Amino acid sequence: MGHGWEGAVLKLLRGKDFVFTVTGTEVVNDRLRRLHLTDGGMLAVTGTHPTMWVRIWFENAGKPHQRGYTLVDPDPEKGTFSLEFVLHEGAASDWARAARPGDTIEATVHGSEFTPPEPAPAHLYVVGDAASLPAINSLLDEMSGASATIWYETAHPLDDQLPMRLDPARHDLRTVPRRETGSGLLEEVRSTLPDLLRTHRGTDEFYVWVACDTVTTRSLTAYLRKELSVPKPRVKSLGYWRPT
């Protein structure tokens, strides 16, 4: 399958193409399907980092269609990883529902990056949703020595039953039902985060990571930088999907 103009742009930007092979499937619940794959040699070339994601290519009405997915438990020595698909209508979910061992899928690696904050934070402030849950889990795994406050937006009755790698002794999970295209999450973070950040005033012992819909992510990032004056090295944000 050709990758159209998006693929041509990624090729000019030196994106690297690989073919993944499905080795197993797992139904987590009616909302989430996990696929196990081999990497087609990718991890030996790229290495790994927390929240690492790849662009998976699907066919949608005869046209190429790409979406980003976070690697779950990548193993460079074995050349394996998993992908988790939050199920809804669309080409990606349709492919995930039908996938069987032996099926292949094309992917491009470009745009995923993560620079661990220095010094390592003692506390994480994380804002995300079901789409960014695999990345949240990888971040919690990587910074296992840090405590965390997590605002988790739910848009489906099963979202709060998805697997989150929490340590109740160190992680404070705050579930926020989605409303008005993300305004509820924005209001909740704006009303609670300033007081929490005051405990770190003048220090580098915290880190803020935001990954939800593009509109909410953009608003929160501007709020953090302009109104709360959070230093740029202490913030990482990425819009994971576009609201319709």
pLDDT digits 0-9 by tens, 26-44: 999 999 999 999 999 999 9
Which residues of the chain are in CATH 2.40.30.10 domains?
4-109
As its CATH architecture, domain 4-109 has Beta Barrel (2.40)
Residue 233: which pLDDT band, with cuts at 50, 70 and 90?
very high
Q: Which pLDDT score is estimated for 116? A: 86
How far is 197 from 208, CA to CA, in rounded Å?
Answer: 10
Question: Which CATH class name applies to 123-237?
Answer: alpha beta
Percent of the chain with pLDDT over 70: 99
Q: What is the pLDDT of residues 148-175, one digit of tens each?
A: 999 999 999 999 999 999 999 999 999 9
Please state, in angstroms and as integers, the Cα–Cα distance from residue 85 to each residue in 10, 67, 90, following that order: 23, 11, 11
Average pLDDT over the chain reads 94
pTM (two decimals) = 0.93
pLDDT at 98 over 80: yes
Torsion angles phi and psi, residue 159, rounded to 5: -60, -35
Q: Which pLDDT score is estimated for 9? A: 79
Which residues of the chain are in CATH 3.40.50.80 domains?
123-237
Decide: 86 and 32 in contact? Cβ < 8 Å. yes
